[in-house]
Amino acid sequence: MKVIPVKNHNRPLVPFIPPAVSQKSIDQNQAVIRFPNRVHRKQIYYEIEILPSSYLDGTEKFVVPVDNPTLLGFLTSSIFAVWVKGINSNESFAINDKSMYNSFPFPEVSKKQINDIERAVNYVFEARAETQFKSLSDVYLPETMPEHLLKAHENLDRVLLDILGIQHNASNEEILKNLFDRYLENLN
């Protein structure tokens, strides 16, 4: 996959997407999205979590305050992973807020689409809850990902691909091209 150049943005371009912030600026009772410290190119999905900020361990470079599952749906999808890998050519790397999160071309979504995403996200988290693991990062390696969790993520991907108008059988290169075209449209 070809690495694409992306300019840093200070905040996402869609109103329902909150900007990334430092951990220190979050209220201790606020729910936040926690990104893994390191991800690997071979991962199809990332072990993104939603936690009370009081559970953070201080190693987070940034967090995203959240109270809506739509955002979580996009971030736990293979579509977001394709975007992240399309920006970074390293084998192992940290997700960053400027060129990876803030530049992701989140689409506007209807109320029906929000409901569809929410159901699919709940299915993913129900599948996670049924999975025995010592470390969530172990579950998200392609060779150890349980079949029921993989199917839940694939279901979420189908919902999001429909919203983005991308064919379900699109290659990663086709998905990345679509996302990059959307990114360029957002710059204008």
Kindly state the average pLDDT of the residues 139-162.
Answer: 95
- Can you give the pLDDT at residue 161? 98
Q: Is 17 part of a structural domain of the chain?
A: no
Boundaries of domain holding 144: 23-187
Q: Is the pLDDT of residue 8 over 60?
A: no
Write out pLDDT tens, residues 12-57: 556 556 767 666 666 777 788 888 888 989 999 999 888 887 777 7
Q: Is 130 part of a structural domain of the chain?
A: yes
Please state which of the ranges 52-66, 134-148, 170-184 shows the lowest mean pLDDT: 52-66
Q: Is 9 part of a structural domain of the chain?
A: no
Q: Is 10 part of a structural domain of the chain?
A: no
Q: Is 13 part of a structural domain of the chain?
A: no
Q: Is 12 part of a structural domain of the chain?
A: no
- Can you give the pLDDT at residue 177? 95
Neighbours of 152 (CB within 10 A): 23
The total of structural domains in the chain comes to: 1
pTM above 0.85, yes or no: yes
Please state which of the ranges 31-40, 79-88, 143-152 shows the lowest mean pLDDT: 31-40
